[in-house]
Amino acid sequence: MSATTVHNVSFHGVGEPPRPLDHGEAMVWLRTDRFAAILDALHGRDDVRLSFDDSNRSDVDVALPLLLERGMTATFFVLAGRLEDPHHLGVDDLRRLRDAGMTIGSHGLHHIDWRRCEADALARELAESRTILEDAVGDVVDQAAIPFGSYDRRVLAQARRDGRYARMYTSDSGPARAGAWLQPRTSVANDGVAPSALAQPPGVAARAERTLKGLVKRWR
C-alpha cells in the first residue's frame, strides 16, 4: 500500500444494547471484547482512521475509555437531531469527546436516506446539523458521514455546494486516498470477520469491482 493510502474503519454500537435493535443495526453492534480486540490489532497503525456512526451512548460509556487506554483517537459522526435522546449522546458528551482529543463530525439530523430527500431537506441535513454541532462543541465541524452510505451525484453535488465539508465518508469499503474529499469506509460487523485493514490486499478483480460500484454511485 502507498503511504498515502488509509483504511477508514467504522463502528456503531458497542457493549450491551440498551434497546431492541433492528436487523441492520444488530449486524454492526459489537460485543465489547470484539471491539477491544480490534483496537488492539489496529493500535499503532498510522494508516488507519477510526470512526463511529449514529451517536449511541456507548460511544462515551464503552468506546471512549477503551480508546483512551490505548492512546487512540477517532471521529464521532453525530446525529444532531438526536442530541439529548436517552439512548444517544448529549451536548456534555460531545464536549467530553472533544476534550479527550476526539473529532466531532456530522451524520445529518434524522438518520434518513439522503438520496430520498427533497432538495430543501437535504440542504438542512447537511447545513443545519453542522450548525447545531458547532454550537454544541464550540468548534468547526467539517466532516460528515453519509447515512446508510446512500448517495448519488445529487447528494455529492449538494455537499460540495454547501462548501464547508472537507471530507465526506461513505460505506463503500476498501482503502482510500488519504487526501481525497470522498472517503470510503469499512463498517465492522459482529460476524467475526476482520475489517479490511487487517486483511490481505484484495486481488485485481475485487479492486476493479469496488471501483466500478463507486463510479455507479457517483454518477447515478
Residue found under cell 462543541 = 137
Nearest to 195 by CA among 14, 34, 13: 34
**What per-residue confidence (pLDDT) applies to 195?**
78
- Provide the 8-state DSSP code for 56: B
Question: Within 10 Å of residue 156's Cβ, how many Cβ atoms?
Answer: 19
| pLDDT one-digit tens code per residue, 137-188 | 999 999 999 999 999 999 999 999 999 999 999 999 999 999 999 999 999 9
Q: Which domain holds residue 80?
A: 5-219
Whether residue 203 is predicted with pLDDT greater than 80 in this model: the reply is: no
Q: Tell me, what CATH number does 82's domain have?
A: 3.20.20.370
Cell of 196: 479490511
Nearest to 129 by CA among 115, 146, 116: 146
| pLDDT one-digit tens code per residue, 109-130 | 999 999 999 999 999 999 999 9
**What per-residue confidence (pLDDT) applies to 1?**
44
Is residue 64 a contact partner of residue 14, using CB atoms and an 8 Å limit?
Answer: no
Q: The pTM is what?
A: 0.89
Is residue 42 a contact partner of residue 50, using CB atoms and an 8 Å limit?
Answer: yes
Angle at alpha carbon of residue 185, lines to 100 and 157, rounded to 5°: 100
- Range name among 57-66, 96-105, 194-203 with the lowest pLDDT average: 194-203
- Number of folded domains in the chain? 1
**What per-residue confidence (pLDDT) applies to 218?**
52
